[in-house]
Chains A and B, each alone.
Chain A
Amino acid sequence: MSSNPWPPVASGLGVALCALSPVLGAGPQDAFRIGDLGHAIATCLIFLILLLVLGKWAWGPIVSQLRRREQSISEAIDQAEQREKHSHQLLALYKARLDQAEAEAKEVLADSRTQAAEARDEVVNAARDEGRQLIDRARGDIADAKQQALKDLQTTTAELAAQIAQRLLHTVLGSEEHEQLIARSLEEIQARAGEDS
């Protein structure tokens, strides 16, 4: 449709009013005047002129500016809505990332806790094993030392016994006899030790 359909509207109305003219007439001078064709034509003509003049010099520019303003407001609203949408998307993305980071952090924390527990267990177990080994080793050393001490004691005892016996007998035993005597003495001592224990 073209932008201004009103001029043909009003001119057509004028023609229609002319056709109605026989029924429009003025009454007597003292009666209430309902108006006549002159009023009808004047009304249409004045309205048409007003519409044309204001339409050209007033409403046209105002309406076009209002349209532009409304369009710019509509565009601004659209942009704002798009930005809002974008910011919502960003917010959702960041929220998801934050949740993911939080989950990761929790996972890392849980892992580190597990690892720490494992490390602690390892250290404790290792320490315990080491301690046990040290104890075992110490016990072995003690047993060895005890054996050695017992051996030394036996040897010393045997030697002392041999010396005592030598002195008693005033005889000097030869080395072979000496060793036999010691061995016999040791056997006796061990036998006695076995009886004691």
Chain B
Amino acid sequence: MKIDPTELIRLISDHPWPGCQVRLGGIEITCMSDGIASMILVAACLMAVIIPLARRWRPRPTGGANLLEVVVIFVRDMIARPALGARAYDFLPFLLTMFLFIGGLNLMGLVPLEGITTLTGYPVGGVPTSIPVVCASLAGISLFSIVFLGLRRQALLYHQSRSLPMWACGLASPVLWLKSLCPDLPGAVGVLLLPVLVVLELIGAVAKCFALVVRLFANMLSGHTLLALFLMFFLRALAVAVRGGGYQVTYIGPFVIMVSVVFNILEILVAALQAYIFTFLTAMFIGMYVESVH
């Protein structure tokens, strides 16, 4: 039984909706695809579930609010507190949104939405986090948050310590932030090493966020590819059996189903774990580059 790589790529790749790709200045822009649709679906589901639960939130939550409380407390105690300490509550909304959003996107690959695709003709249900640009955008949000909040904090600190106008502190904030990243080295050696250290620290910050992209993308793509591959085995064996070419499906089928169940369970764990790792590392980088002395 031969597996066509093109078919596998087609199965795991993002599918733009028909007529939803525009070209602006030579750059192709996808307005809607199954990945974007999945993101919208996840966001809508999160809003639809969380807002009513939050409205029913009481000091002693009951029912579904209990589950929400478990998630909130988990993010607060396992992600925000260890990385941000006393400022955990200030960043909690951002971290909660990131954790649930990425978790939802990761889990989208396990939700069988092929029926909608068949009915409407528009593909829905891809795993957005197996699209590199989506992962890069999520990591970009982390990187931009780190840089923006770092500049903002340095500007505010400078404004408080020197009583200069805020706009002047804002202009000086990039230099202040870069200086705050480097350790204080005395003498001429310190002056000579400062540019090198600044460059190294900037590369370090970008590399850390790039590692976020690679980790999330590779984990989700590999899981998704494995599931797709096993599904293809089954479908191909079924097709051969229907054409009367053999009965491999009788022994391939149960094996594939069993392995698929195991991989689905594993995929759920990986999805939650990757959401946790991504959010935790983001919180740690914010704590490292913004809130504490580097």
Contact = CB atoms under 8 A, between A and B. Distances in A.
Interface string B95-125: 0111001000000000000000000000000
Interface stretch (A33-41, A79-87, A126-134): A33-41
Interface string B3-17: 000100110111010
Interface string A34-50: 11111111111011011
Given A54-B97, A63-B89, A12 B144 contact: yes
B50 A24 contact: no
Contacts of A36: 27-30, 133
A54 B51 contact: yes
Contacts of B57: 61-62, 65
A26 B97 contact: no
B93 A39 contact: no
A41 B30 CA distance: 10
Contacts of A67: 89
A106 interface: no
B287 interface: no
Interface stretch (A13-21, A89-97, A109-117, A173-181): A13-21
Interface size bracket, A side: 35 or more
A32 B9 CA distance: 6
Interface of B: prevailing SS? helix
A51 interface: yes
A6 B93 contact: yes
A37 B46 contact: no
B39 interface: yes
Contact of A33 (B40, B90, B131): B131
Interface in A168-194: none
A55 B36 CA distance: 22
A42 B132 CA distance: 14
B238 to A, nearest CB: 24
B144 A13 contact: yes
B6 A53 contact: no
Contact of A50 (B14, B33, B43, B153): B43
A69 B59 contact: yes
B28 A39 contact: no
Interface string A144-171: 0000000000000000000000000000
B239 to A, nearest CB: 21
Interface string B80-99: 00000000011011101110
A119 interface: no
Contact of B14 (A5, A21, A39): A39
A140 interface: no
A53 B51 CA distance: 9
Nearest to A4: B93
Contact of A38 (B10, B31, B76): B31
B148 A26 contact: no
Instruction: Give the one of B6, B13, B144, B149 with max A CB within 10 A.
Output: B144
Given A9-B149, A39-B128, A58-B50, 19 more contacts: A9-B141, A9-B144, A9-B148, A10-B141, A31-B13, A35-B14, A35-B132, A36-B30, A38-B21, A38-B31, A39-B14, A39-B133, A39-B134, A43-B134, A47-B97, A47-B101, A53-B51, A54-B46, A61-B55
Interface of A: 1, 3-6, 8-10, 12-13, 16-17, 21-22, 24-26, 30-44, 46-47, 49-51, 53-55, 57-63, 65-67, 69
Interface of B: 6, 9-10, 12-14, 16, 21, 27-31, 33, 35-36, 39-40, 43, 46-47, 50-51, 53-55, 57, 59, 68, 72, 76, 89-90, 92-94, 96-98, 101, 128, 131-134, 136-138, 140-141, 144-145, 148-149, 152-153, 156
